Amino acid sequence: MEKYDVLIIGSGMGGLVCADILGREGLSVCVVEKNKQIGGSLQTYARDKVIFDSGVHYLGGLEQGQNLYQIFKYIDIIDKMKLQRQDLDAFDKILVEGDDTEYAFAQGYENFISKLLIHFPDEKEALRTYCDKIKEVCSKFPLYNLRSTNNFDEKSDILEIDTKAYIDSITTNEKLRGVLGANNALYAGQADKTPLYVHALIVNSYIESSWKCVDGGSQIAKLISQNIKARGGKIIRDCEIKKIVEENGAVAYAEAADGRRFYATTFISNMHPVATFAMTDTPIIKNAYRNRLKSLENSTSAFTLNIVFKKYSFKYFKHNYYVGREGYVWTTAEHNEENWPLGYAMFCGASSKSEEYADGLSILAYMRYEEVAAWQDTFNTTSKVNDRGETYNEFKKRKAEVLLDAVERKFPGLRDCIKTYYVATPLSYRDYIGNEDGSLYGIVKDYKHTLKTFISPRTKLPNLFLTGQNLNLHGILGASMSGIVTCCAFLGNDDVITKIRNA
């Protein structure tokens, strides 16, 4: 019977970071992944020889010395990655239906302000106030700045600020209010709910520096997996854990669907906490705690249209587009059948084949899980195919054409460039990423109940830990930070953070 120091369930970014760091600390690690491809939201897939990302469309904080750069430097992947910096004067462009202006978000705070002043010349004070507040909020999070101390009181005064209310407080210009919140699909922003710290931590990283992975984000998972294996760690794919078994007050083993048992001293789950505890049969995890977690709202899901272009037909752009109807910035997910989509985001994949022309484009629009609930009993991945039926195909086709109609209003002629397209729905996100309802970003943060949505990496079982996007923040940076938090909790010190800062 093989026994590991650490068994990690799920190979999302948080789990991979844990495995890499703990392997460097001399521990034997094993990562067990239910899918054939590792990486969670880092997964890519190819259609007609064009690579599409499932989740990582761009990255922030990767300039030398910035937080994600330092993490990637420490785990020795930054110099091996194929990266492309986005346009310094526009990493995101905000478009509003009925308005021909392109509002650019530029890299670097002074550049960010100057580019928006072109369209809002009377709003210099508001823009300066906004940027100063973003930087102030980010300074209150020690780990975000790779500082070892984590004094909760340091950030307590900024946790209960509502993003939309704050933006509205600094200007009466409705257009500027809408523009500053327009890329909130990055965190599924909601009025009277999303805390300012979520907005700040995410937007700041892109303003600092914004990048795309050339030929897809799966390279991150591949490079980390090479590190894990080089230190004797194991990664077992296509193996779904179904039970976490407690004996004598601690986890004894994890059992897979095929009956295999994995023994370890410590277990780390990269799964959603609700799913983790659903498979953990123990009275030590109280029902009150399980029910509290179940009561937390998950973020919405998405409908994704992945387009393969005819060769040399569509010019590549080194930025992203966020397009929406005026007045719906914070309620884009509250669409109905008649008015969908109220907004969408467009991402050109960076390809090594050509810098001038795009070979593919991903268009994302919010879609709630309930909209595909009719087919929720089907399951479809590369390792398990269960045809969802003709009605599902008809649904995807109809929605794709409606979305293309909306896109054509801003990008006339796009249809003429399409060779073919492929569709992903909330069911695709559920099956490949692992969240029960296809949630993009896991548990929703609420400024009115901040402590309720902070989940500790420790559990009542002394050798079971949690990691991943549901702990602190989603995204590659957020999940990496969660991996670090979990490692520090397990190791009992913050030495890892010092090592990363000094890498």
354-392 pLDDT, tens digit per residue, is: 999 999 999 999 999 999 999 999 887 765 666 788 999
Q: Which residues of the chain have pLDDT under 50?
A: none
Q: Tell me, what's the pLDDT at 272?
A: 94
Q: Tell me, what's the pLDDT at 422?
A: 96
Q: Tell me, what's the pLDDT at 432?
A: 85
Residue ranges of the domains in the chain? 3-43+61-79+216-295+447-501, 109-209
* Strand extents, DSSP E, 276-417: 280-281, 301-309, 320-324, 343-348, 360-367
What letter would DSSP give residue 281? E
d(CA 118, CA 115): 6
Give the CATH number of domain 3-43+61-79+216-295+447-501; options: 2.60.120.10, 3.30.70.360, 3.20.20.105, 3.50.50.60: 3.50.50.60
Q: Tell me, what's the pLDDT at 100?
A: 96
Count H helices, E strands: the chain? 14, 20
Q: How many CB atoms lie within 10 A of CB 304?
A: 26
Q: Tell me, what's the pLDDT at 382?
A: 65
Q: Tell me, what's the pLDDT at 375?
A: 94
Q: Tell me, what's the pLDDT at 434?
A: 77
Q: Tell me, what's the pLDDT at 386?
A: 67
Q: Tell me, what's the pLDDT at 55?
A: 87
What letter would DSSP give residue 444? P
d(CA 242, CA 425): 25
